[in-house]
Structure formats: structure tokens, C-alpha cells
Amino acid sequence: MTATITDVVVRDIRFPTSRQLDGSDAVHKAPDYSAAYVVLRTDDGPEGHGLSFTLGRGTELCVGAIRSLSHLVRGRTLDSIMADMRGFSRSLTNEEQLRWLGPEKGTIHMAGGALINAVWDLYAKRDGKPLWKLLANMTPAQLVACIDFHYIADALTPEQAIDILETAAPTRPNREAELRRSGIPTYTSSAGWLGYSDDKLRSLCKQYMQQGWSRFKMKVGVDVDDDVRRAAILREQIGPDGTLMVDANQAWDVPQAIGHMRHLAPFNPLWIEEPTCADDVLGHAAIAQAVAPIGVATGEVCHNRVMFKQFFQARAMSFCQIDACRLAGVNEVIAVLLMAAKFNIPVCPHAGGVGLANYVQHLAAFNYIAVAPSLENVVVEYTDHLHEHFVDPVVIKNGKYQLPTAPGYGITMKDESLCRFEFPTGKAWAAV
């Protein structure tokens, strides 16, 4: 029996992370990690959950945008959606009047993503599988039927997408077994927030190394002398064999990025992340050429498949950091994963923020099992915040995500957390 989506509930959930400067970087100095949180109620069986990740103020706008799109979801049966996933996703991303607010970018696109992801969560829960497994069980034709190829046909045709998926298909069982055995490799961003003191940086490095991490990312971008000092501390802590990444969160102009990376190159970073404006494909290409062999990583605010397409075409991105909430849900992510495979760019998803680790562990697992040419350089971000609010929190062993087992997309928050952190009515905000 098919479920009908009877209601779309949206809530404004904010965590006051700015009080400890968790998540602080060169551009976002005091974020309150937050979520526009969606619940799809149905007439039968489980609910579907989804969210847009936000930084505090502005969550109300994502909540509003999800409500403005919700008439396209309310009243639909899950079967009718899954029978035409491409059409469903286009109905949200290209609603004829609402699209003007993007098109396919910003608040309205993130809102579409929250709804589309909630539908996938619902589908996976009803199917009794974690999302990665549900996707890994789909045929190449079924997966390709989810993708909107509009505007990317010059980089990836449906036929090429089928080819990539069919090439990987025979290796799916072995790759799945490997992930079950070893987990998904990660790096941690939790030691190197910009607002942390040198001492806190040192002690957190030690702590995470003891827990099994060997890859560390630190924030840079406000003052190059500070960046050099902190990079030296981090390199000293992790030794020559540890992996160091640096992340400027779009702080620099193109010439600045090239200049500052000369000072950081001696510490041998694997990548410079978001060296400049995330819209600047040509700027990233210039930086990539100038700073090689250091790679350029970007993607967490790369707003749609057309931007990713250009980053790949222009060789402007050495590491592809898809974001599960910025893009229009699982469907658009799959399009980007396939383009990354075609252009042979490793996918290292963004998982700072709240709930992003829950999401991207599924995407990373699916990518490795069914899409990616290899696991080389594939690492997923890990941060240590706010996991306690989820019904099925991520499981980390020896610095690796363990394959999730609970049905769904893993984003369901505890009722208690939803009530306590609802803005502005929850107890956590009562004193403010």
C-alpha cells in the first residue's frame, strides 16, 4: 500500500554554538549551527525527515521557502513521486514563479533540497534500508532516471552516466564488503576552528590523534602570520606523515590566495579549501594552477550541478566537496558524483554543521560502492558537534565512519532536542 504525504511540518531549530566559537572561521566568526527542519507526515507508516543547514539568523527564511514549496509535496503519494523522481525534483527546482528567486540557487534551492531529501528518507524508511543501501541496490537505469540532465548535457549525457554506473556495477559487492570492514575514511575539522587558542589546538590534536585521526583541517584566512604559526603547530603535532588541509572559507581575492599559499606551502597541505569566492570558477582555475601540487578543494557553497560542471571542465577543483543541503537533494548530488567520476575528481563531502555528517556518510558510501573510480584521496569531513541530538548518530571508530544500519537518511532529530532548540520558543533560547 502506498503512503500519501498528508502534511509538511517545518520547524526553526537553532543551536547556540556561537557561545563556544565552535565552527568559527575567517568569514563566519560566530555561527549558530541551525536547521530548517522538515517532517513529511503520511497517512500510513513512518514520517520522512529532512533539513536545510543554516547558520542561525536566516533559518526563518529557509523555513518560509520550504513552506512556499510545500504545496508541491502535500497530497502526493510516495509511489507517484518515485515513479518520476526527475520530474518531481524539477517541479521543485523550477517552479515557474518561485524559480526567479534562484534560479536553482540560494534559499529556494536549499528549501527544495530539504524536501527532496525528506522524500528519500521516507522512501528508505518504508523500504527498511539505510539510504546508501537503497541507492546501491538501484540499477544504473533507475539511478539515471532520477537525474535532471538539463544544462549538463555538454559534460555528461545519460548514456555516459549509464556507462559509468555499469562499469562500477560488478565491483559493488566487493566495495560494499570493504566499507563494512574498514569504514569510510575521514579527516577532522574539530581541532582547528579559527576561534580556538593555540593551546586548545594542541590539546585537541593530541586528543583526536589518540582517537585514531591522522588527517586534520585548520581554518585560515584572517591573518597570514597567525595562519603560519598555527600551521606550524598543527604540523608539529601530527608529524610529517599526518595530512594537513587548510580552509580559507572564501576570505581571499585570487592574487591574495596565491600569495598567502606561498607562506603555507612549507607545511605541505593536501589542499587549500575555498581560497576565494565560491562562484569564481576562473579564479579557482588560476589558483589551482599557481599552487600545484597543493590541490584546490571547494563545493560546500557551490550551488548547483552547473557550477560543479564548470569547476570540472576548467580543472578548477581538485577535490569535490559536495554539500547534502546546498544542492537540491540526493538527485542533484548523484549528478555531481557522476560528473566527478567522469572527470576523475575525488569526492570529499562537506560535513561541518549540524546533520551534515549524518547525510554525507550515505552519499560517500554510495559513491564509493557504485560510482567512484577509486577510493584514492576520498575522505569525508568529520566534526564533533551536536551529534547527541540525532536518533541515529554517526558512528566513528578509529577515525572512520561505520556504515549506517538504521533505515532512512539518518537525519531524524530527537523530539526533546527539537523542542529545546526550537527558535525562539525553546528553552535553550528562553534566557536570550
Choice among 49, 105, 133, 219 that is catalytic: 219
**Residue 397 annotated to the active site:** no
Q: How far is the CB of 19 from its own copies (least distance, A)?
A: 14
Among 6, 44, 45, 58, binds its own copies (CB under 8 A): 58
Start-to-end Cα distance in the chain:
47
Sign of CA dihedral 383, 385, 390, 395: positive
Tell me the sheet residues that pair with 222. Answer: none
By CB under 8 A, tell whether 331 contacts its own copies: no
286 binds its own copies (CB under 8 A): yes
114 binds its own copies (CB under 8 A): no
Nearest-approach distance from CB 238 to its own copies, in angstroms: 30
Task: Please count the CA atoms within 13 angstroms of the CA of 253 that sit on its side-chain side.
Answer: 2
Of 11, 49, 109, 362, the one binding its own copies (CB under 8 A) is 109
For its own copies, which residue of 29, 206, 262, 397 counts as binding (CB under 8 A)? 29
- Distances from the Cα of 145 to the Cα of 84, 101, 278, angstroms: 8, 27, 29
CB nearer its own copies, residue 157 or residue 203: 157
432 binds its own copies (CB under 8 A): no
Q: Does residue 21 bind its own copies (CB under 8 A)?
A: no
- Half-sphere exposure of residue 224, counting CA atoms within 13 Å on the CB side? 12
Q: What is the DSSP letter of 279?
A: T
CB of 27 to its own copies, least distance (A): 7
Binding test (CB under 8 A) with its own copies, winner from 142, 177, 279, 374:
279
| Size of the residue set binding its own copies (CB under 8 A) | 62
Q: Is 153 an interacting residue with respect to its own copies (CB under 8 A)?
A: yes
The residue type found at 337 is L
CA distance 248 to 264: 12
Q: Contacts with its own copies in 83-102 (CB under 8 A)? A: 94-102
Q: Which of 424, 431, 427, 409 is nearest to 50 (CA)?
A: 409
Q: Which is nearer to its own copies, 21 or 391 (CB)?
A: 21
Identify the residue among 121, 227, 280, 381 touching its own copies (CB under 8 A).
Answer: 280
Choose between 159 and 241: whose C-beta lies nearer to its own copies.
Answer: 159
Where in 301-330 is the site for its own copies (CB under 8 A)?
Answer: 301, 303-304, 306-307, 309-310, 313-314
Active-site residue, 263 included: no
Q: Would you say 100 or 239 has its CB closer to its own copies?
A: 100
Which of 61, 194, 244, 411 touches its own copies by CB under 8 A?
61
Pair 168, 367: CB distance under 8 Å: no
- Please report how close the Cβ of residue 297 comes to its own copies at its closest, in angstroms: 17
Q: Is 291 in the site for its own copies (CB under 8 A)?
A: no
In the complex with its own copies, which residue's Cβ is closer, 185 or 329? 329
Q: Which residues contact 348 (CB under 8 A, 6 or more apart)?
A: 297, 319, 320, 321, 377, 378, 379, 380, 381
Q: Which member of 109, 129, 350, 385 is catalytic?
A: 350
Binding mask 235-254 for its own copies (x = CB under 8 A): ---------------x--xx
Residues 6+ apart with CB under 8 A from 377: 319, 346, 348
Task: Tell how many helices (H) and how many strands (E) occur in the chain.
Answer: 17, 12
What does the DSSP assignment read for 163-231? HHHHHHGGGHHHHHHHHHHH-EEEEEEEEE-TTS-HHHHHHHHHHHHHTT--EEEEE--S-HHHHHHHH
DSSP state of 101: G
Q: Where in the sequence numbering do the catalytic residues fall?
A: 219, 350
Query: Which parts of this chain interact with its own copies (CB under 8 A)?
Result: 27-32, 54-58, 60-62, 64-65, 68, 94-110, 150-154, 250, 253-256, 276-283, 286, 301, 303-304, 306-307, 309-310, 313-314
